[in-house]
Structure 1
Amino acid sequence: MKQPLGVILAGGRATRMGGGDKGLLDLDGKSILSHVMDRLAPQVAGLALNANGDTTRFAETGLPVLSDSIAEFPGPLAGVLAGLDWAAEQGAETIVTAAADTPFFPSDLVSRLTSKADGMAHPLVLAASRDPDSGKLWRQPTFGLWPVSLRDDLRAALQDGLRKVVMWTDRHDGRLAEFPVTGIDPFFNVNTPGDLAQARAMANQ
């Protein structure tokens, strides 16, 4: 499998943070988005950002900004579709997505996802992590490996009203790649002001 392209998902409305772009909030002297870019860029062949509205607010990133092609903020799958359409233009076979508000995700994200896809007709893999208290395995729907070959299927599903990531991945026998939780949750994301304070404390550990 060729090295995938990377797409950072920043298309949400951040209602629990009072609106605005969570990725642009400061964390240890630079934006959360900058942390995500620094972590994902070495793992992929190129990067783009999925976001809606005025794209100039992300001009400093130097990244292409991909808007949803499905109206009314239908969720992360719309960002995945935007990434797949962009990747198709680049001649890529797959993308790996990461959320713009999750600064501590694994530095081996891409290698673990792609290794789990061995032998699949359509390499479709979601990240997952296990709750250390309950032992429950949680799927991380904004972190995944997605095949360009299924982009038209995804477009049709979104146009038919499908919104839940796992409903679509289950349709195509998507796999899970489990990531260990040691110390901090690698998929900890910033949704609220309290989360931001916690992330700032974690960044200085």
Structure 2
Amino acid sequence: MSPQIDAVILAGGMARRMGGNDKGLVELNDQPMIKHAIDRIKPQVKQILINANRNQNRYAEFGYPVLSDEDSGYLGPLAGMITAMGQTQADYLLVVPCDCPLLPTDLVQRMLAAITAEDAEMAVASDGKREQPVVLLMKPALRGSMKAFLDAGERKIDFWYAKHHCVVCDFSDQPNAFVNVNTPEQKQQLSEAIAH
């Protein structure tokens, strides 16, 4: 029997480089950015969760559960992850950011294969040049470890990965899959690239 996989789309940040605009709701080619992410991962998972700390009603319009960080201090992506880990019964949780509209359509398949091959606890994606720390597949049972990490005042996601058997999943054959949008200029460049 194949494992059950849920996903959380992280849209809980403050988007300082986007002028404070809620990145998941910023339009890219006539669709909110989060809709691009939803369309890419929906066929790959059983359930989608959205982590958002503002505009929850707007995010709820996409038809998926919206979760706010358990800790309201904008503690970064780990806060959204730990919240989602507590809300899923799945064997694995896929984590993706709301501002990556070109996510691989075989993301889950390849990451699960990497975990299985290495008997790992999690897999983090790489574009061939660098790891993508908020694109990962992990076991929700790691929630206790993450809670202890956060309770100790730690916030650096890579340091938490280092405490576990984490395998890097290579997507160098899709180098643009993890292009994300942090500034209005990047949004314009990506919009033009998608249009061509």
Question: TM over 0.5: same fold?
Answer: yes
Q: Report the 3-state secondary structure (helix = DSSP H, G, I; strand = E; otherwise coil) of the residue aligned with 2:95.
A: strand
Give how far 1:119 is off.
5.4
C-alpha separation in 2, matches of 1:95 and 1:28: 28
Alignment length (residue pairs): 195
Tell me if the contact between 2:120 and 2:167 (Cα under 8 Å) persists in the aligned partners: no
TM-score normalised over the length of structure 2: 0.94
Could you tell me how far apart the structure 1 residues matched to 2:65 and 2:43 are? Answer: 17
Aligned to 2:106: 108
| Residue matched to 2:168 | 176
Deviation at 1:123, TM superposition (A): 2.6
Counterpart of 1:77 in structure 2 is 78
1:3 shift after superposition: 2.9
Q: Aligned partners of 2:149, 2:93: CA distance in 1, in Å?
A: 19
Give structure 1 regions of 4+ aligned residues with deviation exceeding 4 angstroms: 119-122
Q: 1:83: how far off?
A: 1.2
Aligned residue for 1:28? 29
Structure 2 counterpart of 1:191, which letter?
N
Match of 2:130 in 1: 138
- Distance in 1, matches of 2:53 and 2:22, equals 10
Q: 1:157 aligns with which of 131, 145, 149?
A: 149
- Which residue in 1 is equivalent to 2:123? 125
Indicate whether 1:98 and 2:90 are aligned.
no
1:66-122 deviation digits (Å, cap 9, x = unpaired): 1111231111111111111111xxx21210011101101111111111001015665
TM-score by length of 1: 0.90
Give distance in 1, aligned partners of 2:21 and 2:94: 24
How large is the RMSD of aligned CA atoms in angstroms? 1.5
From 188, 194, 197, give the equivalent of 2:185: 194
**Where does the alignment leave 5 or more consecutive residues of structure 2 unmatched?**
none
> Letter of the aligned partner of 1:144 in structure 2?
L
| Letter of the structure 2 residue corresponding to residue 26 of structure 1 | E
Letter in 2 for 1:21: D
Q: Does structure 1 retain, via aligned residues, the 8 Å contact 2:11–2:52?
A: yes
Following TM superposition, by how much is the alpha carbon of 1:181 offset from its aligned partner in structure 2, in angstroms? 4.5
Q: Could you tell me whether the CA contact under 8 Å between 1:98 and 1:142 is conserved in 2?
A: yes
The within-5 A match list for 1:47-86 is 47-86=48-87
Question: Partners of 1:162 and 1:56 in 2: how far apart?
Answer: 31
Deviation of 1:23 (Å)? 1.4
Question: Among the aligned pairs, what percent are the same residue?
Answer: 35
Query: Would the alpha carbon gap of residues 188 and 79 (structure 1) be closer, same or farther in structure 2, given more than 3 Å must change?
Result: same
Pairwise CA distance, 1:54: 4.1
CA–CA separation in structure 1 for the residues paired with 2:119 and 2:93 = 15
Contact 2:23 2:99 in 1 (8 A): yes
Unaligned stretches of 5+ residues in structure 1: 131-136
